[in-house]
Amino acid sequence: MLKREDLRGVFVPVVTPFTQGGELDLASYQNYAGQLAEQDIAGLIVNGTTGEAPTVRWEEVRQLAEATQSLLKNKKRAVPVVIGTGTNDTASTVERTESAANMGADAVLVVVPYYSKPSQQGILEHFRTVARVGVPVIAYEIPSRTGIRLSMDTARAIMELDGVIGIKDSSDSLELIGELTRHNAGPVLCGDDLHYFAKLALGAVGGILASANVNTQRFIDVYNLVQKGEILAAKQTFDALIPLVQGLFREPNPAPLKWLLASLGQIATDRLRLPLMPISEQLKKELEPWLHYL
């Protein structure tokens, strides 16, 4: 089980590879996730946004979790596994969180309830209820997808709950992290790849970064340089990554990332499940130069 002090460094949210027929491709997954686990990452996130959680069946999450635990058995060091369990229904989130515990999850990633647009009090009670399951919870704030934004008071109250060990901040500003770090509210992980360096500089303890699926070590380098106080070197290292990050988010995540991973031979296909679509030919041209550097 992860503790607050364990939330340090770069966590990588994995894609969910599919066959051309749209079925789960566990062979590709084990090859690709196994390579990631060889890196000095802080952990793997299964069934997050990058893993196409809305279209992945829970039985498939179970298979992915089993495959992940299997490939990690013989690794030289322990690599924590975090499973995304959040939905916009508290009861189903509790169910999934209990199931994730049985799958051996070290923590769960729970998104702010989307679509329903609950009150701030309703959001707080959602997290309070899920945290009672007993699995460490990483809250996940991403207003662009949920349609609602945490108030500063609610964010701090969530962080104070027993069982909540940190928050993934995917808001499109520096306001939330500035407020949370100012009040020493607890660990904040950057989930907005373009703001990775800026949020580290403001006190983030690391990141959950889709872009870190490729060129992983360079994202780790940025974190390590900030920890050493080498801020200029960290900024220069991150600046060199910005074109890659921008390309990977030019069209909806994880479509660009899957195309890149398939082109690099790490997964068999770039197949997505509707309503997500393959990337445009124009974006392929923009990303092609990276194939020679990754």
Is residue 257 very low, low, confident or very high in pLDDT (cuts 50, 70, 90)?
very high
Let me know if residue 124 belongs to a domain.
yes
CB 4 within 8 A of CB 187: yes
Active site residues: 140, 168
For residue 199, being part of any structural domain is answered with: yes
CA-to-CA distance for 294 and 283, rounded, in angstroms? 17
With residue 44 as reference, give the H or E element that holds it. Answer: strand 43-46
C-alpha 113/C-alpha 123 separation (Å) is 7
Give the Cα-Cα-Cα angle 215, 217, 218 (nearest 5 degrees). 70
pLDDT at res. 293? 85
Residues 6+ apart with CB under 8 A from 224: none
Would residue 80 count as lying in a domain?
yes
Q: Which pLDDT belongs to residue 74?
A: 80
In angstroms, the Cα distances linking 277 to 75, 120, 251, 255, 270 are 35, 34, 9, 7, 10
Provide the pLDDT for residue 99: 98
Q: What is the pLDDT of residue 235?
A: 98
Task: Express each pLDDT in 119-176 by its tens digit.
Answer: 999 999 999 999 999 999 999 999 999 999 999 999 999 999 999 999 999 998 999 9
**Residue 201 belongs to a domain:** yes
Q: How far apart are CA 102 and CA 261, in angstroms?
A: 30
Q: Give a yes or no: residue 146 inside a domain.
A: yes
Does residue 261 lie in a domain region?
no
* Model confidence pLDDT, tens digit, residues 268-294: 999 999 999 999 999 999 999 999 888
Residue 157: which CATH number? 3.20.20.70
Query: For position 294, what pLDDT does the model report?
Result: 81
Average pLDDT, the chain: 97
| pTM value surpassing 0.95 | yes
Whether residue 135 lies inside any domain: the answer is yes
Backbone angles phi, psi at 9, to 5 degrees: 95, -155
Full domain range(s) for residue 182: 4-231
CA angle (89 as vertex; 139, 55 as ends), nearest 5: 85
Domain for residue 242, yes or no? no
- How many domains would you assign to the chain? 1
For the segment 4-47, what is each residue's pLDDT rounded down to a tens digit? Answer: 999 999 999 999 999 999 999 999 999 999 999 999 999 999 99
Q: Token pair of 150, please? A: 């945490």
How far is it, in rounded angstroms, from Cα 189 to Cα 139?
Answer: 10
